[in-house]
Amino acid sequence: MSDSTLVGGHLRSDDPELASLIDEETKRQSTTLQLIASENFTSLAVMEATASVLTNKYSEGYPGKRYYGGNQIIDKVETLAIERLKRLFNAPWANVQPHSGANANAAVYFALLKPQDTVLAMRLDQGGHLTHGSPVNFSGQLYNFVGYGVTDKGDGGETINFDNMYELALKHRPKLIVAGATAYPRVITVDRVREIADEVGAMVMFDAAHVAGLIAAGVYPNPLYTSSGGKGADVVTFTTHKTLRGPRGGAIVGHEEHGSVIDRALFPGFQGGPLENTIAAKAVAFLEALQPEFRLYQEQVVRNARAFADALERQGFRLVSGGTDTHLLLVDLQSFDPELSGKVAQEALDRAGITCNRNQIPGDPRSPFVTSGLRFGTAAMTTTGMEEEQMRQVAEFIATALRKREDESEVTRVRAEVEALCLKFPPPFLKK
């Protein structure tokens, strides 16, 4: 793709080696299936804002309270992003400066907890995130995390075990309960979490990294509020680059009583100068998410995920929890092929032009580096315009590539079919 318009003349002449690598990645993204649940394609407007002159400005602090001069315009940019985000989530307070979801989580912990305080969060092997208490992560090293899990397999199984959460909360009296997950395909309602937290005097943080776009579109309950309209989570953290379809980054929304302390925890406590070019791109994404078309997109994301889940089941895969309510699917490979690990499956699918990630399933007998599962998401391919029919085709590609993984000619054939499908549904950066 040497004629790619994504690489400008300056970069192509000043650093042809890097320009060539960007061309290669452009080709990879546009000729293979992007099924990683934490990825999406941004609009060209988001990409333009990310690459704007705002990258040149240093702006430590917050609007109206900067440590550097010349931030009159920057203050307007960041304020615009804040106001759009508050409107999007019906939030009394918002912070758009986190560089990532992990940084957003860290800022909340830093603001609301002291070292070694007890936190209740979903176990990592049951769907929780690295920042929910992994011993190799700062969260598990600085705080005392206790993990709740999901129910056993079966009808309605592998969903959050609120009885377990309640028992652990009574026993350990956590200061904070973390809801939300990185590999959990069902809706998490905040009502029961709030009830448990109130009984033991805990605060609630909802990590909405994966479902922020669904929440913004109104196709997933807003965790800031209970179903009756009362206070839900005290604070909600999320990334802006998954279902929200913005630039790579994070954000926090919440109720006003914790706003100032979290602001101080993020800066100067945890981060230095914000990335105002990325904040501008977040503002663009928030405006896009406020449009009626965004709800239609998110509704299609969920329809695609359900069609994809049904098609995978027909191919012999078992879906953890029996299906999905969101963009995310967690697949148990053991029913399809007991000898097939997530690591081997991921590598075979990569060769077939299908990008996904291996993932542990509840009760996984294999390590996190090997796993017995795969995680898929439909947000990116829905952005390209794919619908249920294409999701069924993709399920067939996956099954064929994994059944025939030792036959390189068959894998190559699937890759050619994948590329032909992708060329019919180009990502936004290739659309005229």
What CATH number does domain 297-430 carry, 3.40.50.10490, 3.90.1150.10, 1.10.1060.10, 3.40.640.10?
3.90.1150.10
Q: Taking 90 as the threshold, does the pLDDT of residue 24 lie above it?
A: yes
So what's the pLDDT on residue 51? 96
Mean pLDDT of 202-220: 98
So what's the pLDDT on residue 2? 39
Give one DSSP letter per residue of 23-59, joined into a string: HHHHHHHHHSEE--TT-----HHHHHHHTSGGGG---
Of 377, 376, 382, nearest to 428 by C-alpha is 382
Q: Which pTM was predicted?
A: 0.96
Residue-wise pLDDT tens digits, 54-85: 999 999 999 999 999 999 999 999 999 999 99
Q: Taking 90 as the threshold, does the pLDDT of residue 432 lie above it?
A: no
Residue-wise pLDDT tens digits, 389-412: 999 999 999 999 999 999 999 999
Whether the link from the prior residue into 135 is cis, omega within 30° of 0, is no
So what's the pLDDT on residue 9? 87
User: Which range is least confidently modeled, 94-103, 149-158, 374-383?
Assistant: 149-158
Q: Which residues are annotated as a binding site?
A: 124, 128-130, 256, 367-369
**What is the token pair recorded at 191?**
């009502």
Which residues, 6+ apart, have CB-to-CB distance to 407 below 8 Å?
A: none
- Active-site pick, 245, 248, 282, 405: 248
Residue 60 appears among annotated catalytic residues: yes
Q: Taking 70 as the threshold, does the pLDDT of residue 313 lie above it?
A: yes
Residue 332 appears among annotated catalytic residues: no
Considering the domain 50-290, what is its CATH architecture? 3-Layer(aba) Sandwich (3.40)
- Active-site pick, 58, 350, 366, 388: 58
So what's the pLDDT on residue 5? 58
Of 398, 388, 386, nearest to 424 by C-alpha is 386
* Angle at 103 (CA atoms; ends 101, 105), nearest 5 degrees: 70
Percent of the chain with pLDDT over 90: 96
So what's the pLDDT on residue 4? 47
* Angle at 322 (CA atoms; ends 347, 331), nearest 5 degrees: 5
- Active-site pick, 123, 242, 282, 358: 242
Q: Taking 90 as the threshold, does the pLDDT of residue 153 lie above it?
A: no
Q: Taking 70 as the threshold, does the pLDDT of residue 1 lie above it?
A: no
Residue 248 appears among annotated catalytic residues: yes
So what's the pLDDT on residue 183? 97
Residue 239 appears among annotated catalytic residues: yes
Q: Taking 70 as the threshold, does the pLDDT of residue 3 lie above it?
A: no
Domain ranges of the chain: 50-290, 297-430
Mean pLDDT of 222-229: 98
What band does 7 get if pLDDT is binned at 50, 70 and 90? confident
- Active-site pick, 31, 39, 60, 310: 60
Mean pLDDT of 165-173: 98
So what's the pLDDT on residue 155? 64
Mean pLDDT of 94-121: 98
Of 222, 235, 212, nearest to 282 by C-alpha is 212
> For residue 238, what are the CA distances in angstroms to 37, 174, 190, 208?
14, 22, 16, 5
User: Which range is least confidently modeled, 6-10, 240-244, 410-414?
Assistant: 6-10
Residue 184 appears among annotated catalytic residues: no
